[in-house]
A and B are shown apart, each in its own frame.
Chain A
Amino acid sequence: MKNQDLNINKEYKYGFTTDIESIRAPKGLNEDTIKFISNIKKEPKWMLDWRLTAYNRLQSLKEPNWQKPKYPKINYQDLYYYSAPKSASEKPKSLEEIDPKILETYKKLGIPLVEQQRLNGIAVDAVFDSVSVATTFKDELTKKGIIFCSISEAIQKHPDLVKKYLGSVIPLSDHYFATLNSAVFTDGSFVYIPPNTRCPMELSTYFRINASETGQFERTLIIADKGSYVSYLEGCTAPMRDENQLHAANVELIALDDAEIKYSTVQNWYPGDKNGVGGIYNFVTKRGACRGKNSKISWTQVETGSAITWKYPSCILQGDNSVGEFYSIAITNNYQKADTGTKMIHLGKNTKSKIISKGISAGNADNTYRGLVDINKKATNSRNYTQCDSLLMGNKCGAHTVPYIKNKNSTSTIEHEATTTKINEEQLYYCNQRGLDQEEAVSLIVNGFCKEVLQQLPMEFAVEAQKLVAISLEGSVG
């Protein structure tokens, strides 16, 4: 970013009336920064106190270092923790200023021009009528009593819900990055589905229009009240331009009695170049609590971007008969690294969990599945089924599977299956002989390998995700 940006002086502290378009907090992580963020968002005192508590706890926490991908030390005092949407003068003026490789990908994915411009943060003046589209959705949702807004708005308008549930799944001092997020989160989404309500649409269309520029410390909270259902889609299949290297988001899901939450992610942040220079560190904490009986939480993720992906979307199965699912595709190419998996904590009786993980490694990349299945003493008659498959392309990449399995009662069953295969030259030959070129052949075989996960995605997303799988692996086979 350029220096012309306004750095707020210390003495200038909270009383700014400057053009908000170009405001950012001073560099560094300290109480003043947190107060700055809270103040600029006009947060109530309880929220500021909550953030400060997190900040204090952070002082006694250390960054975890057990993960496989290592990264250079991050200087937390050298980061900006709040940056308002950029002013028009700083944004790229047109798509001509964007990396042609990214544009090529858009073409292959069939992303409309307007969407391309939006993804790259190009200053477009009312090219499409997002306001009216958003309002239409909002009206329909409001009629059903569904709340879908930014977390900042929820803190203002629905403080009781936020107070009750924020941090109830990911506690304040959970671990370094989660706690950091609690102290400095900037924005994110809030969803509340009232009892016995089925959310009539995938909460994605709206998200795509509404919630860009949520920043590097995103916070999402989704509550499905008794007997309700919601499907939430996060992210976008198209590559996103982003200047923040560290991303530490927190996502909390709460499902009460008989409720179901389906959460799907397609992550395609900048992975760095062919030589592993640059790229996003995607250190995300995602956790869902199946708090009520017969509740269900299902995570589906397609992770193809970022230099380092480090995340374990998890389920705490508290309610009796509750169900947790995790479907994952992680693709790493060139010098990308992924250490991802899930935790299934069985606490209630007759709880079930299912883990299907597909890791694909190409180039010099490294892909680790790490997962915990923990069936507690009282979680009688519980079941887990885990299947981890790794596919290797070439001979410079790596695949690792690190399952932790604990069963503390005698009536529960755990099944674990794992395979590691290399992409088969004979299969490629067979496809080539039927007229498919190398890239089509790889795409077909890899999509077949990922099928069980891809079919979990909502229809319109699945088609794009399939193309994305192919694009992510381009040039990875001879």
Chain B
Amino acid sequence: MLKITNLKATINEKLILKGLDLNIKPGEVHAIMGPNGSGKSTLANVLSGKNGYEIEGEISFNGMDLNDLKIEERAQKGIFLAFQYPLEIPGVNTNNFLRTSLNSVRKARGEKELDTLTFLKLIKEKAKELNIDEKFLSRQLNVGFSGGEKKKNEILQMKLLEPKLSILDETDSGLDIDALRIVADGVNSYKNKENAFLIITHYQRLLDYIKPDFIHVLSAGKIIKTGNADLGEQLEKTGYANLS
């Protein structure tokens, strides 16, 4: 599904990713761990197409060269990024935002756009699955939401847009144990043979709930170690410093 070959990314003349390789197949869950400043968020940003980076190397997604696609085209083709810090958009109703987003994606996929009533029915179901209060959908997008509410809103959007590759950028940071469980349940209930996850995290604790197939350790812009779920527990004990 996703094949990254010798990826280098530079921002403000600083080389952040220094030749990264990664291969993700449908149905797999990959976790990226690593110390601060190792390039984890940069990887998420680059995959989503965020402006400002100079890119070298290849990123192929279902046979397409991602470097040729704009941010919204990547989203429409099935790349979803759950933001570490979801943005507030004052005056924009959450429902309205979600519907505009879903319809943009549906339109690009050649599917029929949903009318308001059909959409409301759908979103209410999805919100219920995540234990999200309906009232929260008529509030302004992320404005005055707690950290946990914002993150749950990201997972709601993921389930709504049904992406092929979901990138979770430190979705676990700032969550209490209940919210963490809801987010993890949301991910687990969406996981299937067709889609894949790339989970970026500092800590093992999210991985107690979402079992990864692979854990990669990112350090100074390169993947320095890859292992199975046990690697996370090992890191939790020994830290990153003892690697490499």
Which residues of A are at the interface with B, using a C-beta cutoff of 8 A? 424-427, 429-438, 440, 444-445, 447-452
Contacts and interface: CB of A to CB of B under 8 A. Distances in A.
A436 B91 contact: no
B87 A426 contact: yes
21 contacts: A425-B51, A426-B87, A429-B50, A429-B51, A431-B89, A432-B70, A434-B75, A434-B97, A435-B75, A435-B105, A436-B100, A436-B101, A444-B89, A444-B100, A445-B89, A447-B91, A448-B90, A448-B140, A449-B91, A450-B91, A451-B92
B71 interface: yes
Given A429-B51, A432-B72, A440 B104 contact: yes
Nearest to B71: A432
Contacts of B97: 434, 444
Contacts of A431: 89, 101
Given A440-B100, A440-B104, A448-B140, A434 B157 contact: yes
B95 interface: no
Given A426-B87, A444-B100, A433 B48 contact: yes
Contact of B83 (A430, A445, A452): A430
A433 B81 CA distance: 7
B75 A432 contact: yes
B108 interface: yes
Given A430-B89, A433-B72, A448-B140, 20 more contacts: A427-B87, A430-B86, A432-B75, A433-B71, A433-B81, A434-B75, A434-B104, A434-B105, A435-B75, A436-B100, A436-B104, A437-B70, A444-B89, A444-B97, A445-B89, A445-B92, A448-B91, A451-B91, A451-B92, A452-B91
A427 B89 contact: yes
Contacts of A436: 72, 100-101, 104
A74 B171 CA distance: 62
Contacts of B200: none
B155 to A, nearest CB: 13
Best-surrounded residue of B86, B89, B97 (most CB of chain A within 10 A) = B89
Interface in B46-81: 48-51, 70-72, 75-76, 80-81
B161 interface: yes
Contacts of A434: 75, 97, 101, 104-105, 157, 161
Q: Is the interface of A mostly helix, strand, loop or mixed?
A: helix
B14 to A, nearest CB: 19
A108 to B, nearest CB: 16
A430 B140 contact: no
B19 to A, nearest CB: 26
Contacts of A429: 50-51, 71, 87
Contacts of B51: 425, 429
A437 B105 CA distance: 10
Nearest to B86: A430
A448 B142 CA distance: 13
Contact of B89 (A448, A450, A452): A448
Interface in B97-125: 97, 100-102, 104-105, 108
A127 B176 CA distance: 66
B24 to A, nearest CB: 19
Contacts of A424: 87
B72 A437 contact: yes
A433 B140 contact: no
Contact of A448 (B81, B92, B101): B92
